[in-house]
């Protein structure tokens, strides 16, 4: 689920409205965190370094980055990187590449938006 940004204070004022975190819909306080190019689902309550955890589980949701009407996710602490789908279907964090393949594999639509959720932002990706 899209939820409030875990590391909002580290984001510039201009991007704060677009900063989100991704929480496991079935486990409160479990977030999608990136370390290097890998994405992991981890509990915020089990970390030894909460500020780093919050930073690595915060993303900027952009619209119209590569294609009109589509979204991209950029890790807050990785300016030139985006979440993309690998050829095997895994989601990874990769450095921006100016190719159609990169644009295609980083762009997505949001389906089933539910504004009545108990969380600020809720969607299935």
**124 pLDDT more than 90:** no
| Domain definitions of the chain by residue range | 2-106
Tell me how far apart the alpha carbons of residues 75 and 80 are, in angstroms, rounded to a whole number.
9
Global pTM?
Answer: 0.85
Tokens linked to 114: 């539910």
> What is the model's pLDDT at position 32?
97
Tokens linked to 29: 């306080």
CATH topology of domain 2-106: Trefoil (Acidic Fibroblast Growth Factor, subunit A) (2.80.10)
pLDDT tens digits, one per residue of 31-54 = 999 998 999 999 999 999 999 999
> What is the model's pLDDT at position 121?
42
Give 60-64 contacts, CB < 8 A, sequence gap 24+. Answer: 60/11, 60/15, 60/18, 60/19, 60/20, 61/2, 61/18, 61/19, 61/20, 62/18
What is the SS3 assignment for 45?
helix
**13 pLDDT more than 60:** yes
Task: Quickly list H helices, the chain.
Answer: 50-56, 100-106
> What is the model's pLDDT at position 115?
55
Tell me how far apart the alpha carbons of residues 53 and 45 are, in angstroms, rounded to a whole number.
10
Backbone angles phi, psi at 51, to 5 degrees: -60, -40
């Amino acid at each position: 689920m899209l939820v409030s940004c875990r590391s909002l204070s580290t984001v510039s004022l201009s991007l704060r409205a677009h900063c989100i975190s991704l929480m496991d819909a079935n486990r409160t306080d479990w977030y999608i965190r990136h370390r290097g190019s890998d994405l992991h689902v981890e509990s915020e309550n089990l970390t030894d370094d909460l500020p780093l955890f919050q930073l690595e589980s915060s993303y900027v949701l952009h619209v119209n980055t590569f294609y009109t009407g589509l979204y991209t996710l950029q890790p807050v602490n990785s300016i030139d990187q985006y979440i993309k789908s690998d050829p095997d279907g895994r989601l990874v964090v990769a450095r921006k590449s100016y190719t159609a393949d990169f644009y295609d594999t980083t762009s997505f639509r949001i389906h089933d938006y539910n504004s009545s959720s108990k969380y600020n932002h809720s969607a299935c990706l």
